[in-house]
Amino acid sequence: MRHLWLLLLIACGSVQLPGVLTYPEALPAKSSSAAGGGDGGGAGGGVTPTETSKDYDYEDESQQAAANLAKSTESPKIPDPYFEQTDVDIYVPINTTSVKLDCPVRNYNAQHHVLLWYKGKTPVSNGDNIFDKIYSMDKKFSLTVPLASNATEERYVCEVPNKARRQVTIRFGPEPSTTVPSAAGGSAVTSAPAKDSAPHGRDISLWLIGLLLAPLQLAVSFRF
């Protein structure tokens, strides 16, 4: 009987005895606003549901990034080298033993171009490297070349491959003078110097002035 009574008390939940296991009462479910402590005033305020973000166009962003990368990596255009004179004749005395040949190339960039010297078709230099010690070259690529005593003409070429080329022809002897073309009919026209004609014109002017003043002098003399 006593065991039955204890079981009834436990089932009803009116008495809790030491050493006897009792089940906790089921608590009523709380709303989300109550669990969050009202308007966010309690600890760990209410959680507001986040809105779904709009779709982002990753393709446009990747295209823009690729365009910016292409602009940043695009190398500046290097101007082409050139010569103002591509064919030059140099006249030297017959017994000259050496001569200095200039190579005035424009827009030359040592990082992108190379300059070559040739004697005829034989390479003489490549950049700063000279293939034969009989030649010498300065920092401006001017080449000093030896001349043979019996030579009558020598040709050298200063070149930036596939860009610019200058040929220098060395000729021995005096430079030919420029001739003035004669007048029509083949005869040369000669004229007297200006300093010779000036005195004659001055004499004629004085004679005319004297001729005009003579009647005036006669009239004055007869009057008085």
At 66, the pLDDT band (50, 70, 90 cuts) reads low
Query: Is 80 exceeded by the pLDDT of residue 96?
Result: yes
Q: How far apart are CA 69 and CA 170, in angstroms?
A: 53
Instruction: Give the mean model confidence (pLDDT) for residues 5-25.
Output: 57
Residue 188's pLDDT is 44
**What domains appear along the chain, each with residue ranges and CATH number?**
87-172 (2.60.40.10)
pLDDT of residue 77: 85
Residue 135 has pLDDT above 70, yes or no: yes
Residue with the bigger pLDDT between 74 and 45: it is 74
Give the amino acid at 81. P
Q: Which residues contact 40 (CB under 8 A, 6 or more apart)?
A: 46
pLDDT bin (cut points 50, 70, 90) of residue 58 is: low
Pick the range with the lowest mean pLDDT from 21-35, 151-165, 170-184. Answer: 21-35
From the number of C-beta atoms within 10 Å of its C-beta (0-12, 13-18, 19+), residue 117 rates as buried
